[in-house]
Homo-oligomer: A and B are copies of this chain.
Amino acid sequence: MSHNGAGVSEVTVRVPMNIALVKYWGKRDEQLILPLNDSISLTVDKLTAETTVRMIQAVGENTVEINGRRVELSSNKRYQTVFDEALRLQRKRKEDLNKNENECITHHFEVISKTNFPVAAGLASSAAGFAAIARAIQKILNLNDTQANRLARIGSGSACRSMFGGLVHWKKGEKEDGSDCVAVRTESENWPDLYCIILVFNDERKKVGSSEGMRRTRETSTLLKHRIEYVVPERIEQVKKAYESRNFQDLARVIMADSNQFHAVCLDSIPPIRYLNESSWRLIELVEKFNQQEVKAAYTFDAGPNACVIVQKYDVPAFIRTLLQDIIIPSEDLKSVEEELKVSFDCPSEINSPILCSKLIVSPMGGGPADS
């Protein structure tokens, strides 16, 4: 962190996005972004938002720039919510310390964020972005983890799961003020062999946004309540246990079942919500084929058609070979995987009715944020 004489604090952090293994779907409080159920996730080390936050002690306008483009804050209220909460926490700490300084001191924030993956790819970039802002403000204001977690969450719910490495458990909490709604790193040591292979499938369909989708499912699905009350709690425990004991097969089975159930409650909504497209389903079939002898891969899909397939590091080449039988993958993406894993792939000369993948990303999982 740097300070200068003019009352400017500046911090730069790099924070990864995360993928839920048991999905978050439905809010119990829209304003505070309190979820209806617990979720559990791993970060994707290679997909990060690098974000610089400047807190400036002067009258001025808050600004946010993402990948070189200015964000219109009047239509993205979440940023203001985060800045307001940050200033409230600062005031509160001063009061706690009995520092009744000049109450009229004002601040504003400047945020400059860069993601190393296209925001338009439909990967959950806002989670990494808000987590990075929260992390940077945590450093500037010396907040504790719970405060920083809240800051991330009120920006973008699942952002609070990007604040730690390892297996992260976002607890829904019970309290109305959200004070017991926090993401925590589970006690399990990180499992560095877990890799994810992300496949971006383009989609022309108009997508139901996740806030709107969650609202619709909560209001209309007759299955969601059962999922929340009975299914999710058990699955959270299953994931923790499988992760702790390094039981990949058990972990994979829960991951796939929960991805499917999330899409099932979407389909049970009125009108039905559909995120999986033909490419997603083809990928599901490829994973089933790959798993025929032994479960070695787990697919999971968020609110869109893109697939995230979790495998152990030594299975990455075999899985990519399976993909290449049916999927056309951009050659530059394939080349960078070859270089990194020191393997080489043969692409079949012709594929019948191929699936087109516009981006392939292979990444270790479970790394945490980094401060620079």
Q: Which residues of A contact B (CB under 8 A)?
A: 220, 222-223, 226-227, 230-231, 253, 256-257, 260-261, 263-265, 267-272, 274, 278, 281, 284, 288
Task: A223-B226, A226-B226 given; name 10 further pairs at CB < 8 Å.
Answer: A222-B230, A256-B271, A257-B268, A257-B270, A260-B267, A261-B267, A263-B267, A264-B268, A267-B267, A274-B281
Distance in angstroms between the alpha carbons of A284 and B272 in the assembled complex: 9
Shortest distance from the beta carbon of A196 to any chain B beta carbon, whole Å: 20
Count of identical protomers in the assembly = 2
Inter-subunit contact A267/B264 (CB<8 Å): yes
Q: Which residues of B contact A278 (CB under 8 A)?
A: 278
Closest to A224 in B: B223
Complex A-B, nearest 6 residue pairs according to Cβ-Cβ distance, in ascending order: A226-B226, A264-B268, A264-B264, A264-B267, A260-B272, A222-B231
Docked CA distance A264–B274 (Å)? 11
Q: Which of B256, B264, B274, B281 makes the CB contact (< 8 A) with A223?
A: B264
- Chain B nearest CB from A273 CB (Å) reads 10
Q: A227 CA to B222 CA in the complex, in Å?
A: 8
Closest to A272 in B: B260
Complexed CA–CA distance, A263 and B263 (Å): 11
CB contacts (< 8 Å) of A271 on chain B: these are 256, 284, 288
- The smallest C-beta distance from A297 to any residue of chain B, in angstroms, reads 13
| Nearest CB in chain B: distance from A42 CB, A | 21
Cα A271 to Cα B290 with chains together (Å): 13
Closest CB-CB distance, A355 to chain B, in whole Å? 14
Question: CA–CA, A223 to B229, complex, Å?
Answer: 11
A199 to B: closest C-beta gap in Å: 18
Closest B residue by C-beta to A261 = B268
Set B223, B257, B260, B274: member contacting A227, Cβ < 8 A:
B223
Closest to A229 in B: B226
Point out the residues of chain B lying under 8 angstroms from A288, CB to CB.
271
CB distance from A142 to the nearest CB of B (A): 44
Q: Are A260 and B270 in contact (CB under 8 A)?
A: yes
